[in-house]
Structure 1
Amino acid sequence: MEILGRERRRRWSTAERLEIVAAVGVNGETLARVARRYDVSRSQIYQWRHQFRKRGLLPAPTGPTFLPVDLEAPMRHAEPVPEDIIASPVIVELCLAQGRRLRFDAGIEAAALTRLIRSVEAA
């Protein structure tokens, strides 16, 4: 990397750009973490990746990407949901301001739902 003049504009070589773009996804690295590590904006990495793919320097994604998911890990801030709600697919839960939750039947009329939300928010 080379810093030029007062504006501190950085010049990245093609090899450095490829290294940064290739670092995304390795061992679960996110684009945001790679951008912070190399002190470059996320949009710049997207732009480089697009340019490299256009020039044929990066292979295009060939298929779906699978990410590891741990279904046994507890959810943060999760509240237990009563079993009768799980069994009924017509119940909707709406998360309102200040942690309030409103559960209602999916068939509720829009006007009644609006009045209900307003009264709960005003309480």
Structure 2
Amino acid sequence: MEILGRERRRRWSNGERLEIVAAVGVNGETLGRVARRYDVSRSQIYQWRHQFRKRGLLPAPAEPTFLPVDIGAPMLSAEPVPEDRVVSPLMVELCLAQGRRLRFDCGIDAAALTRLIRSVEAA
């Protein structure tokens, strides 16, 4: 990083930008924590990530991994479900990275679900 002139405008090299963008998600690091660590705004990291993806410098997102699920076992939750939020037994709730949750009908097409997960994870 280089600080120039009186306005103290920072100049980041492409290598530094890639390092910052790549730090998001490593060992559960959130975009906000990475932004604070490098003293960069979150919107700047989003912009860099978009630019790198456009140029093909970022690897494609990893394929989603589907794990076997035992639907016979009761789900124990650390947080109570509010009474006004009743989930139909035909609905599935999937907890993704960074606290994101998807709720969908159990009859959803696997290809549609894969596209949905990819788009949510890429956002």
Say what the alpha-carbon RMSD is for the aligned residues. 3.0
Runs of 4 or more off by more than 3 Å in structure 1? 62-66, 78-81
Superposed counterparts of 1:57-68, under 5 Å: 57-64=57-64
Label 1:79 to 1:18 Cα distance change in 2 as closer, same or farther (>3 A): closer
- Decide which structure has the larger Cα Rg and report it: 1
Q: Hey, what's the Cα distance between the residues in 2 that align with 1:50 and 1:26?
A: 18
Is the helix fraction higher in 1 or 2? 1
Give the partner amino acid of 2:61: P
Using the aligned pairs only, state the percent identity: 78
| Corresponding residue SS for 1:7 | coil
- TM-score using structure 1 length: 0.54
Q: Distance in 2 between matches of 1:72 and 1:5?
A: 57
Structure 1: give runs of 5+ residues left out of the alignment.
90-123
| More contact order relative to length (CA 8 Å, sep ≥ 6) | 2
TM-score calculated relative to the size of structure 2: 0.54
Deviation at 1:60, TM superposition (A): 2.8
Structure 2 stretches of 5 or more lacking a match?
Answer: 67-74, 89-123
Match of 1:11 in 2: 11
